Amino acid sequence: MPVTSAPNRLRLAVQKSGRLSTDSLELLASCGIRVKSPKERLLLHSDNFPIDLLFVRDDDIPQLVMDGVCDLGIVGTNVLEEAALERRTQGSASGYLVERPLDFGGCRLAIALPEEKPYASAKDLQGLRIATSYPQLTKRFLAEQKISAEVVYLSGSVEIAPRLGLAEVICDLVASGSTLEANKLRAVETIFKSTAVLLRSTHQLPAEKTHTLEILLRRIDGVQKAAGAKYIMLHAPKTALAEIKKLLPGSENPTVLPLAGDESKVALHAVCSEAVFWETMESLKKAGASSILVLPIEKMML
């Protein structure tokens, strides 16, 4: 039975179960998009926003978007770039637009080899076997470096390939590095840096969907801006105001209010677009500020 949704509703592909699933759904929730009983079905309709979610394996997301089956998808650029290269080699259409980089799913695709194996430069990979789930990205790197090496495709557990004698080297995703360490491997080259993105089909959207997409993007921008931002409130002597303003990270035009019962001081409120560290607070204090409060911001629309 074909998966159907109303023609005026956006269709977004998200990973059904894996590293991107929770963050993808949390992003949508932060955008005020409600989805009931997530992941129990293939297709879910939001009941308060004209969007339907299709839950699939992350590897299927680029194809679904490039073929226009879904208008949007949330996927890592590692999977996206690999799929785009693969489709290009097959002569299939590989168009897509990255609407927004997202602040989760960060990792890198790295060449790693047994700890004891010496390595000076990419030339040392010449003639070796490299096990990977990303053959296209690996081959591109080898071609750029003018290295001839055999690429051995493995769909998972790439890190055990050297111990099994399947390959001398691996090319796999690394986040913290603990998997490599546990398998006595060391990363020697980063060939691709990845993050999750919101991607969009190049197929033309009808006006209604375009309007919905604009609202969604505005909300994502609001959530992402707010994520690093803080609202700061403090009291300051009027004479120290100029210096204190300079110390506030990434703030524009703070609000300055009179303080009841103290003519020499003012209250200052500001939105700081960058992180406020203890060091900043200590500098503010030194400059004469007192009663310093740093508050989180949930959403922001400028």
Residue numbers at the binding site for ligand PRT (CB under 6 A): 15, 18-20, 57-59, 76, 78-79, 105, 107, 172-179, 194
- Work out how close the CB of 153 gets to ligand PRT at its nearest, in angstroms, rounded to a whole number: 14
Binding partner at 15 among ligand PRT, Zn ion, none, C-beta below 5 to 8 Å by kind: ligand PRT
Q: Looking at residues 59 to 88 of the shown chain, list those that interact with Zn ion (rule: CB under 5 A).
A: 59
The type of residue at 30 is S
- Report if residue 23 touches Zn ion, rule: CB under 5 A: no
- Work out how close the CB of 74 gets to Zn ion at its nearest, in angstroms, rounded to a whole number: 13
Binding partner at 35 among ligand PRT, Zn ion, none, C-beta below 5 to 8 Å by kind: none
Q: Which of 12, 35, 54, 58 binds Zn ion (CB under 5 A)?
A: 58
Phi, psi of 99 (to 5 degrees): -75, -45
178 burial type by CB count under 10 A (0-12 exposed, 13-18 middle, 19+ buried)? exposed
Interaction mask 189-228, Zn ion, x per CB under 5 A = ----------------------------------------
- Work out how close the CB of 288 gets to ligand PRT at its nearest, in angstroms, rounded to a whole number: 45
Q: Which is nearer to Zn ion, 59 or 86 (CB)?
A: 59
- CB within 8 A of 237, min separation 6: which ones? 264, 265, 288
Q: Which is nearer to ligand PRT, 56 or 248 (CB)?
A: 56
Nearest to 54 by CA among 101, 103, 9: 9
Q: How many residues bind Zn ion (CB under 5 A)?
A: 2
Q: Which is nearer to Zn ion, 44 or 79 (CB)?
A: 79
Q: Which is nearer to ligand PRT, 105 or 222 (CB)?
A: 105
Binding partner at 82 among Zn ion, ligand PRT, none, C-beta below 5 to 8 Å by kind: none
Instruction: Yes or no: say if 111 and 123 are a contact pair by the CB < 8 Å rule.
Output: no
Q: Which is nearer to ligand PRT, 156 or 261 (CB)?
A: 156
- Work out how close the CB of 176 gets to ligand PRT at its nearest, in angstroms, rounded to a whole number: 3
Q: Token pair for residue 149?
A: 């090496």
- Work out how close the CB of 247 gets to Zn ion at its nearest, in angstroms, rounded to a whole number: 46
Instruction: Yes or no: say if 138 and 108 are a contact pair by the CB < 8 Å rule.
Output: no
- Work out how close the CB of 219 gets to Zn ion at its nearest, in angstroms, rounded to a whole number: 27
Binding partner at 173 among ligand PRT, Zn ion, none, C-beta below 5 to 8 Å by kind: ligand PRT
Stretch in the footprint of Zn ion (CB under 5 A) among 52-60, 117-125, 195-203, 229-237: 52-60
By CB under 5 A, name the binding residues for Zn ion: 58-59
